[in-house]
Amino acid sequence: MAARLTGRPADRVRTTPGSPAEVLLDGGTPVMVKRGDGPGAVRAEVAGLRWLAAAEAVRVPAVLGHDEHWMVTERVPVGSPGPEAAFRFGQALAALHAAGAPHLGAPPPGGPEDAYIGAAPLRNAPGTDWPRWYAEHRVLPYVRDAVDRGTLRPGEAALFERVCERLPELAGPPEPPARLHGDLWNGNVLWGADGEVRLIDPAAHGGHRETDLAMLRLFGCPQLDRILAGYRQAAPPADGWQQRVGLHQLFPLLVHVVLFGRSYAEQALEVARDALAR
């Protein structure tokens, strides 16, 4: 596959279950080969990587070839998380967000409206009002899906619906649409051996910049304090952003409820209850 998409013979292939294959091309160039999660997934990811790169802010692996089902990217030699790299990454993330998007829900140029976050569908429908858009396209679709799968009960779904009703008063001041990575958990942050961070596996779209920041905190990220320090120096978030972290984490938590079942439901419900208690 790597040979077909890059035009270069492959010398060696190493596979790990559940992960992209690592291939050594003729001449010693290491690359990663990944299959898309569903129709349009590769096109969405390739468009997302190129959109992030076009901001000239964060670094991403170069796309070396792709078709409708497979993509080949450069392999990033990884090192250890360091405070200086983290601070620079925070500044770069702020610059990425500031590069903006045409509107909320904007897909990357050339990317499909119906995309993915991991293996879950992600619809990039346009919007102008963040609370309404977030409720309609980032919270309630996954609530309904979780109820259909039996991982949320209808009474529990009503809790998320009440949070959505209160979003206009909880969301903080309006902001212009940011250019988001969209799936910015620790596993998609590669600490390069050269001391620079690369981002992989985006679910890129136009959204609220606090969503990326909240996702970084959700599952823990090395050097997070330094990342946030760099971000705040470049573009301080609006007052009260730390109290809104849970609201922005509802989206990825509900995605995890859909993909991985009941184990994430209690965490999502706790976040919803905390929001309603404010």
Which residue's structure tokens are 């090192």? 79
Give the active site residues: 183
CA distance linking residue 161 with residue 37, whole number of Å? 29
Sign of CA dihedral 70, 74, 80, 85: negative
User: Cβ distance 202 to 52 under 8 Å?
Assistant: yes
DSSP notation for 20-78: PEEEEETTTEEEEEEE-SSTTHHHHHHHHHHHHHHTTSSB-PPEEEE-SSEEEEE---B
DSSP label at residue 192: B
User: Among 46, 173, 63, which residue's Cα sits nearest to residue 112?
Assistant: 46
Note the Cα 204 to chain centre separation in Å.
Answer: 7
User: Cβ distance 252 to 215 under 8 Å?
Assistant: yes
